Amino acid sequence: MSLQSLLSAYDFQLVWTPEVLLLTVVLATVYLLVTGRFRLYLTEASPVPLGKKLLFLSGLVFFYLGLGSPLSLIGHFMFSVHMLQQAMLYLIMPPLLLLGTPNWLIGLVIRLPLLSKLVPVITHPVLTLVLFNGLFSLYHMPSIFDAVMQSFALTTFFRLALLFTAFLMWLPIIAPLPEFERLSDLRKMGYMFLNGVLLTPACALIIFAGVPLYDTYIKGTALFCTPFYAVPLQGPKLLSVISTLDDQQLGGVMMKLVQEVTYGSALAYIFFRWFRREREDDLTDLADPQKE
């Protein structure tokens, strides 16, 4: 069955998931109000630049694309589209949302009594490195993956856990507050490099497997899971766009490429920031001959 036939076989709710779209609009509205009109009621809230707001709203666009657009339905039939969703939700969306959230707003949240003592522990770079990459690899083990795709409870658990650990993984790099600034620029580059290394085995297993690994895409999916509900899929179970093996390999390549571009961009940003700081320090030393 073709992609067009698949989308026409299901109703508007399953194709577009309006509940997720509504949630996205609500989050955008709350963000704009808090950083706009309501900011005036907060004593330490500085104005939020337009560029920062656009970063946050861009993150919300990827949130909807990954969880509520037609990609969500297609991802139940094509592994490559599912991996594209994963890349959007865990590699692209978190840094955009973190970069788009003003420091004073993050500070208001993490300095709440229940979080102030927990945050320093769960944001340790070694822990965040292991948690996200370990959970991501575990999720893509064939037996685990197939079980998750047939259970709303497991899907919800892994989705929330991966989102949570993805945000934690990005915090040492974005470091919006002093509490998160634990790594020097050189160590941040090493941290991003290790992230790429740890993600590689899961992608390599998918890319170089000589046979299809996931029964979900071999026999067809039977359950459609959204963030709010799950329904049995009564329509077509398989797509004939490309072969199952080619689709699987394309998914692994796609995830690896997005990871390389995303992590590479972060590495370039950290490197040039480090280089600029070193150059400024050198110029300061030259301007002050009495400084030893």
pLDDT of residue 286: 63
Average pLDDT over residues 99-128: 86
Range 210-220 average pLDDT: 93
Question: What's residue 23's pLDDT?
Answer: 97
Note the pLDDT of residue 272: 86
Helix axes 185-208, 244-287, angle to 10 degrees: 170
Q: What's the confidence (pLDDT) of residue 285?
A: 60
- Which DSSP string do the residues of 218-252 spell out, in sequence order? HT---EEE-SS-EEE--S-----SS-HHHHHHHHH
Exposed, middle or buried by CB within 10 Å (0-12, 13-18, 19+), for 55?
middle
- The confidence band for 159, taking pLDDT boundaries of 50, 70 and 90, is very high
In which band, very low, low, confident or very high, does the pLDDT at 8 lie, cut at 50, 70 and 90?
confident
**What span, in angstroms and rounded, lies between the C-alpha atoms of 199 and 247?**
19
Structure-model confidence comparison of residues 14 and 1, the more confident one: 14
- Mean pLDDT in the chain? 89
pLDDT band at 177 (very low <50, low <70, confident <90, very high): confident
C-alpha 59/C-alpha 50 separation (Å) is 14
| Whether the Cβ atoms of residue 169 and residue 129 lie closer than 8 Å to each other | yes
Closest alpha carbon to 65 in 95, 96, 97, 87? 87
Mean pLDDT computed over 178-185: 82
Calpha distance 151→232 (Å, rounded) = 11
Instruction: Give the pLDDT band of residue 137 (cuts 50, 70, 90).
Output: very high
What pLDDT shows up at residue 288? 60
Provide mean pLDDT across the span 179-184: 82
CA–CA distance, 245 with 219 (Å, rounded to integer): 13
Report pLDDT for 283.
64
What is the mean predicted confidence (pLDDT) over 209-226? 92
* CA nearest neighbour of 96 among 60, 128, 126, 68: 60
**pLDDT given at position 284:** 66
Q: Which residues pair with 232 in a beta bridge?
A: 223
Q: Are 85 and 75 in contact (CB under 8 A)?
A: yes
Q: What is the pLDDT of residues 40-80, one digit of tens each?
A: 777 678 889 999 999 999 999 999 999 999 999 999 999 99
For residues 88-95, average pLDDT: 96
Helices (H) and strands (E) counted in the chain, each on its own, are 16, 2
pLDDT at 118: 85
144 vs 131: CA distance, rounded Å: 17
- Residues 20-25: what's their mean pLDDT? 97
Q: pLDDT digits over 239-282, tens only? A: 778 899 999 999 999 999 999 999 999 999 888 888 887 777 66
Beta strands, E only, the chain: 223-225, 230-232
